[in-house]
Amino acid sequence: MALSDRPAERHREISREFTERVRGTRSWDVPSPVAAWTARDVVRHLVEWFPPFLQAGSGVELPCGPSVDEDPVGAWQTHRAAVQALLDDPATVERRFADPHIGELPLDRAIDQFYTADVFMHTWDLARATGQDDHLDPEFCAQLLAGMEPMDQLMRSSGQYGSRFPVTDDADARTRLLGFIGRDPEWTPVGPS
């Protein structure tokens, strides 16, 4: 089943998948496919980078939840609920997001493009780190890859993405997306998850 193209519904679908991986995590200190990150750091990244980005571009301040160090599940669930409430608010469609690097966009579209897509990609990281289902919607993988490839140099120069991981030209969309964002699609955890 394809993901919705409506920002609020797509966030609901993607964050539900990530939430299942969060709830299924048994050890938060296992390494993840992101160099020097643990499973806890995957959640920390999503909970901590987005609120200042959102506030700077739109003036919206999300409520804080528990610390990721003390309660990663609670931190994620509080954060997820706050983002979903913002997207479900009918007034959000009228709000704008402005950033000197990306220009001005409707707020819901900015959340979808920058944040929800990040949750989608990091679902694989958390799933792989913790030995859970690492399936990603193939159509959305292809859509993200098509949107990101033209900005390859800009994305790499931002410092947010490492070097591409080489994959074969005939690889499926998920494998190519993972390689593009610098992940080894064959990465497996070392030790118990």
Residue 74 lies in a domain: yes
Answer yes or no: do 50 and 130 share one domain. Answer: yes
Closest CA to 62 of 40, 87, 91: 87
Answer yes or no: do 140 and 129 share one domain. Answer: no
Answer yes or no: do 119 and 165 share one domain. Answer: no
> What does the block give as tokens for 115?
């944040």
Per-residue pLDDT of the chain (193 residues), as tens digits, is: 689 999 999 999 999 999 999 999 999 999 999 999 999 999 999 999 999 999 999 999 999 999 999 999 999 999 999 999 999 999 999 999 999 888 999 999 999 999 999 999 999 999 999 999 999 999 999 999 999 999 888 788 877 788 899 999 899 999 999 999 999 999 998 755 4
Evaluated on CA atoms 109, 101, 156, 60, the torsion sign reads negative
Evaluated on CA atoms 32, 132, 167, 160, the torsion sign reads negative
Domain containing residue 164: 136-186
Q: Please give the Cα distance from 102 to 119 (Å, whole number).
A: 19
